Each structure stands twice: as structure tokens, then as C-alpha cells.
């Protein structure tokens, strides 16, 4: 088995601890415009059970708050997103053609009764919203 040596002399860390893919701006307006023009993460999910594709998007602030509130257990002081999968889907699922929110609060019982699609959609939304436990652990390391 062959091994290769890495040339670490070529690798440099930046002064702010980030690699060269991070952007910096000397002008506040340019920085603000860059942030405002960023699109939320999204992913098209094939839901075979319903024979459709639905658009999953990063949760906005209102959606995150609703999910966190429903997921939190005051007695145990723990968060379990499984308690809020219906809320995740309601706030993060869109019609791919119209880009409008697809499910409403009145669809909560329907979503809870259809576990497979609901769980897949919710997990996709939580992943692209960076709300899964591994995201929290990664943030703690940085």
C-alpha cells in the first residue's frame, strides 16, 4: 500500500481562522448587500408516497421559533424535534411551482398520520436549516 506525504508548508490559515472561501468587505453597504442577496438553502424532495416533489427550504425566524417552542420540554429542559415534525414541515415545505408555503396548521393531523413522508421532509428541512444535533456539536467546536 502506497502512502503520500502532505506538503503542509503550502497551507496557510487566514488571520481570522477561516479559509479563503470566506469573503470580507471593506464597505458596510457591500457587506449588507451581500447578506441580503443570499438565498435561503432549499432542496427538492421526491415524495414517492404522494407521487410529487416538494420544495424544502431553510426555516425562517418565525418557523424556527415555532419549532423550538413545540420541541422544548420544560420539565426535562430538553429539545426533541420529533415532537414538532408537523410544525417543521408546515413552516419549511413549499410548492415548487409557486414557491408558496404548501401546508397550513390545519394539515397538522394529516402530517402526523403520514409518518414516512413527514419524517423525510422534516429531516431535510432540519438539515438544511442546520438544526440537527451534529450542527450544534460542530458549532461548539468552532
Pick the closest to residue 55 from 94, 101, 104 (CA basis).
94
Interval 9-59: pLDDT, tens: 444 444 445 556 677 888 888 888 888 877 778 999 999 999 999 999 999
Interval 80-129: pLDDT, tens: 999 999 999 999 999 999 999 999 999 999 999 999 999 999 999 999 99
Distance CA 127, CA 101 (A): 18
**40-141 has which CATH code?**
3.30.2220.20
Distance CA 114, CA 93 (A): 15
pLDDT band at 7 (very low <50, low <70, confident <90, very high): very low
- The domain locations on the chain are 40-141
**102 Cβ contact partners less than 8 Å away, ≥ 6 residues apart:** 54, 93, 94, 95
Amino acid at each position: 500500500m502506497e502512502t503520500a506525504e502532505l506538503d503542509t508548508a503550502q497551507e496557510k490559515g487566514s488571520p481570522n481562522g477561516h479559509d479563503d472561501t470566506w469573503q470580507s468587505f471593506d464597505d458596510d453597504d457591500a457587506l449588507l448587500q451581500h447578506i441580503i442577496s443570499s438565498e435561503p438553502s432549499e432542496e427538492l424532495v421526491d415524495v414517492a408516497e404522494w407521487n410529487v416533489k416538494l420544495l424544502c427550504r431553510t426555516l425562517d425566524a418565525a418557523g424556527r421559533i415555532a419549532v423550538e417552542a413545540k420541541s422544548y420540554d420544560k420539565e426535562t429542559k430538553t429539545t426533541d424535534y420529533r415532537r414538532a415534525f408537523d410544525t417543521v414541515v408546515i413552516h419549511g415545505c413549499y410548492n415548487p411551482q409557486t414557491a408558496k408555503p404548501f401546508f397550513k396548521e390545519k394539515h397538522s393531523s394529516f402530517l402526523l398520520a403520514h409518518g414516512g413522508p413527514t419524517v423525510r421532509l422534516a429531516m431535510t428541512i432540519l438539515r438544511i436549516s442546520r438544526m440537527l444535533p451534529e450542527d450544534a456539536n460542530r458549532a461548539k467546536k468552532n
